[in-house]
Chains A and B, each alone.
Chain A
């Protein structure tokens, strides 16, 4: 029973972190039709901002502010310099962003070295929950991921800004004709997506091995979650993340990491074969 609860909590914590990473990705894709292969590196930069904060002798919590701001800036710069030139060439956005991911990863290696860094866990005391002893920091991760996700949903579906963004997604030309500055919205949405990934990286850093390769480990599951869940509604991402996250966690606890990856891979292929637009599509 304890095993099940522990597994359940692990699934929840992985899925929520994956959700945070995937939300940024799906918003960028939904609005700008850009497959951002550099999203994993945004996550990476967020994690390394914790390293930087630690090296500057500042408390961990400062990184939770530094990371999203730094990544928003990076996102703005990249969008303005590079992304906006390749919008109309869909496949090339994959390549351009993937090239950016190579550059960002190399910058980290040059700046911080190729080996892994250790982050001091700011909440080392474990906590008793549901009858098991569980690391407090993981609970913090779940809480933070949940809070930020809910806030993102709220902005997207309940605020005027969110309505404007959804309008642009639905009909860009008409939205522009109504006075919306769609270029500026693209830029800031990309920055926001980057900031989400950066925040996720900063939040996850204390429990992961922080090394230059860690971006890839989230990028692929995030993409697969989006494709499985569908891109027309944010709830699709939640479903996709739930399926991929739980499959991954459960299988890797019963077998190896590799088996989990294969399982996720096969699951994604099967689902997309049956529902090519994802599980949640627009009602027509």
Chain B
């Protein structure tokens, strides 16, 4: 029993450790691929937070990702220099801009009762579609082709403006992911997290206790948007481009699949969902061709119906904080007591 409780912790630590060790023995291409996956992992975590924790299904998560990417690109390409053109400013805008967008969208859409969950899902799908098409038509941000030649992450602390190497970039991305992971974990286990989980469980009942659930939902959505936006900035800096495809329905719905398959309620599981689906994807899509998407779709339906926790959800579940466990569990036993009946006397068989 002790074993299963800490299995989740053990595995989580193992995964982070393994990721940190990768550049030591993998080639440059693999490291940059993994960097891409980790970036998407941050996006997945942002969705897992809003969906697994608060119970809000968003079909347009890539809007914030793409918005972050565009803001980063526009700033570092010096096309939008109201706030200066530095990389730091780019990252800052990429986090705050989507946060603001999420805030506004949340304020608009989190209406009272009834169909609010379904309404939100459909409207975000619609929004993703509109944003993508609009982005294709705005020349300032590159129209259909988007922004190209976006500068990579710079080591502004070194003498001379030096690009970060692949390994260094990877570690920056990984460190960001780890920090964000710990931050979200912290939120989940705080009183705020409890309220959010209560909202997921039963919005109306939570509201009847006096909590202004709409405000909490807007807050959570804003945080989620900020995370996604930051991930988008990292993405753009790594790959040098951002386009309407990065902001639209395709990526929005893809990240839903990653998170659903990996495990929506457990952060680490959502993170790994990306890695799993993406690594399998490149292999299988060349092997199966058009049947790949069919298989993925079928597998996705299967997961939703049979494994709503996701593939990794069960494995990576972390134990509840001590304060939340029921009183009596984990109580220190006096010598001679055997509350669980586990000790056997010599003459019993």
What residues make up the interface of A, taking CB atoms closer than 8 Å to B? 35, 82, 85-86, 89-92, 94-96, 98-100, 102-103, 106-107, 109-110, 216, 220, 223-224, 227, 231, 258, 261-262, 265, 268-269, 272-273, 276-277
A94, B121: Cβ atoms closer than 8 Å:
yes
Does B294 sit at the interface, judged by CB under 8 A? yes
Instruction: Determine chain A's interface SS by DSSP, over half rule.
Output: helix
| A94–B115 alpha-carbon span in the complex (Å) | 12
Residue pairs across A and B with CB atoms within 8 Å: the count is: 100
A85, B117: Cβ atoms closer than 8 Å:
no
Chain B residues whose CB sits within 8 angstroms of the CB of A110 once the complex forms: 290-291, 294
B122 CB contact (under 8 Å) in A106, A224, A231, A273: A224
Mark contacts of B211-251 with chain A using CB atoms, 8 A cut-off: 1 yes-contact digit, 0 otherwise.
00000000000000000000000000000000000000000
Does B207 sit at the interface, judged by CB under 8 A? no
Chain B residues whose CB sits within 8 angstroms of the CB of A277 once the complex forms: 113-115
> Given that A106-B290, A110-B294, A261-B130 are known contacts, is A227 also in contact with B300, CB under 8 Å in the complex?
no
B123, A258: Cβ atoms closer than 8 Å:
no
A102 CB contact (under 8 Å) in B55, B123, B133, B293: B293
Does B109 sit at the interface, judged by CB under 8 A? yes
B123 CB contact (under 8 Å) in A89, A90, A99, A268: A268
Residue ID in chain B nearest A91 by CB atoms: B57
Chain B residues whose CB sits within 8 angstroms of the CB of A109 once the complex forms: 290
A220 CB contact (under 8 Å) in B113, B126, B298: B126
A141: shortest Cβ distance to chain B, in Å? 25
Chain A residues whose CB sits within 8 angstroms of the CB of B298 once the complex forms: 99, 103
B133, A95: Cβ atoms closer than 8 Å:
no
A106 CB contact (under 8 Å) in B118, B297, B301: B297
A276 CB contact (under 8 Å) in B116, B296, B301, B306: B116
Instruction: Determine chain B's interface SS by DSSP, over half rule.
Output: helix
Known: A95-B300, A99-B297. 14 other contacts (CB 8 A): A85-B305, A86-B305, A94-B118, A99-B300, A106-B293, A110-B294, A220-B122, A220-B129, A224-B122, A227-B115, A261-B130, A261-B133, A265-B126, A276-B114
Does B304 sit at the interface, judged by CB under 8 A? yes
A99, B294: Cβ atoms closer than 8 Å:
no
A218: shortest Cβ distance to chain B, in Å? 13
| A92–B136 alpha-carbon span in the complex (Å) | 32
| A85–B109 alpha-carbon span in the complex (Å) | 29
A103, B294: Cβ atoms closer than 8 Å:
yes
B307: shortest Cβ distance to chain A, in Å? 11
Does B63 sit at the interface, judged by CB under 8 A? no
Chain A residues whose CB sits within 8 angstroms of the CB of B253 once the complex forms: 98
A95 CB contact (under 8 Å) in B115, B119, B125, B256: B256
B265: shortest Cβ distance to chain A, in Å? 12
> Given that A95-B57, A102-B300, A103-B297 are known contacts, is A258 also in contact with B130, CB under 8 Å in the complex?
yes
Chain A residues whose CB sits within 8 angstroms of the CB of B122 once the complex forms: 35, 220, 223-224, 227
11 contacts between A and B (CB under 8 A): A91-B117, A92-B305, A95-B57, A96-B304, A99-B300, A103-B298, A220-B126, A258-B130, A258-B133, A276-B113, A277-B113
Does B287 sit at the interface, judged by CB under 8 A? no
A91, B55: Cβ atoms closer than 8 Å:
yes
Chain A residues whose CB sits within 8 angstroms of the CB of B305 once the complex forms: 82, 85-86, 92, 96
